[in-house]
Structures are given as structure tokens and as C-alpha cells.
Amino acid sequence: MRHGERCESVRHCRWVDEVIPDAPWVIDQSFLDKYQIDYVAHDEDPYVSGNHDDVYAFVKNQGKFLPTRRTPGVSTSELLERIVSGYRHRIFDKKLAKMGHAELMAEGSDYDDSRPPSGRASPLRRQQSPAVA
């Protein structure tokens, strides 16, 4: 997701009052005060930055830290790899055509693994192919 899409996704969470799109990567007390932030949610592993062993230690000490949990066995990298692999093996082509999105199909595109990247047969491949009359 792009940054704007991420912000919009978070905005629709029922526990979110406001989204601050250009928030700094490392926050401080003045940032919490300025935006009247009640809680900070983040991975519970200590986040080291600069001279801080855990940039969220002060939030944790205030009882305003909500640790996020990862779903065991779920990896976004693995999901993306499965989607790309499915696309390249044309697993989604039939469904895309049925949905009226044939232009997104892998078959015949630069992502069609059965063809060279340009979508045209290479000269070597043409030479090896039997002539068609």
C-alpha cells in the first residue's frame, strides 16, 4: 500500500480519532501533547534509535503503549510472493477475464513467464521453431 492508502485504511479503524500522515518516525512527549495522543500502538520489541535503547520506553512508563501482535504463520512478504507467483503462472487469468479485467491478465503481458519479457519471440526461438505454412 502507498502511504495515502495506509492512512485511509487506518482512518477507518473504529479506535482511531485522527490520522497524522506526516508523523515523525521517533516521537517524543511534546508530539504526544500537541496531538493529545491517548495511546501509541507498535510492535512490542524494543525499537532502538540513536541514543535510545527503546524509543517507546517513556510511552510504556506512562501506560499509554499498546503492543501490536503478529499473526503466527502470516507473513506479508510470503503473501506477496504467492500473489506474484500466481499471477506469473496465470492462475488468476480466468478470474480476471470473468470479472471483465482481461487487460490485467498475465497471458501475453511482460509478466507471462512462458514468453520473453518483450512479449515477442526471440530470434533464437524463431530459428528453433518449426516453420508454419
63-100 pLDDT per residue, tens: 999 998 888 888 888 888 888 888 888 888 888 889 98
Q: What is the pLDDT of residue 88?
A: 82
Say yes or no to pLDDT of 31 above 90. Answer: yes
Q: What is the pLDDT of residue 133?
A: 41
Q: What mean pLDDT, rounded, does the chain reach?
A: 81
* CATH for 3-68, options being 3.40.50.1000, 3.30.300.30, 3.40.50.620, 3.40.1830.10: 3.40.50.620
Position 111 confidence tier, pLDDT thresholds 50, 70, 90: low
Domain map (residue ranges) of the chain? 3-68, 76-119
* % of the chain with per-residue pLDDT over 70: 81
Q: Enter the pTM of the model.
A: 0.52
Q: Report d(CA 84, CA 89) in Å as an integer.
A: 9
Q: How many other C-beta atoms lie within 10 A of the C-beta of residue 118?
A: 8
Q: What is the pLDDT of residue 94?
A: 87
